[in-house]
Amino acid sequence: MLHWVSERIMALINALPPVFVSDEHHFALIRTMFALLLVVLVVYILAMWPFGSIIARIRSKLRKSSGG
């Protein structure tokens, strides 16, 4: 599934035309870098999904204990 998501993100990023960059090689590098960042973000969100409720409970307890 992760491979499929990363392929879709790369396909989406590669569909963007090089409007603001005159050098095609630099644009490909920048485009790949942004695609990699998006893949890392998706992996992070998928990895942290089960811990979201735990983190929310800890935050609410910290707010109550600090008086805020």
Q: Answer yes or no: are the C-beta atoms of 18 and 32 closer than 8 Å.
A: no
The pLDDT of residue 30 is 76
Report the C-alpha gap between 55 and 38 in whole angstroms. 23
For the chain of 68 residues, list the mean pLDDT of each consecutive stretch of 10.
74 69 72 82 79 77 77
Q: Nearest to residue 51, comparing CAs of 62, 39, 59?
A: 59
Write down the pTM of the prediction.
0.48
Decide if 5 contacts 47 (C-beta within 8 A).
Answer: no
* Rounded-to-10 torsion of CA 23, 38, 11, 47: 160
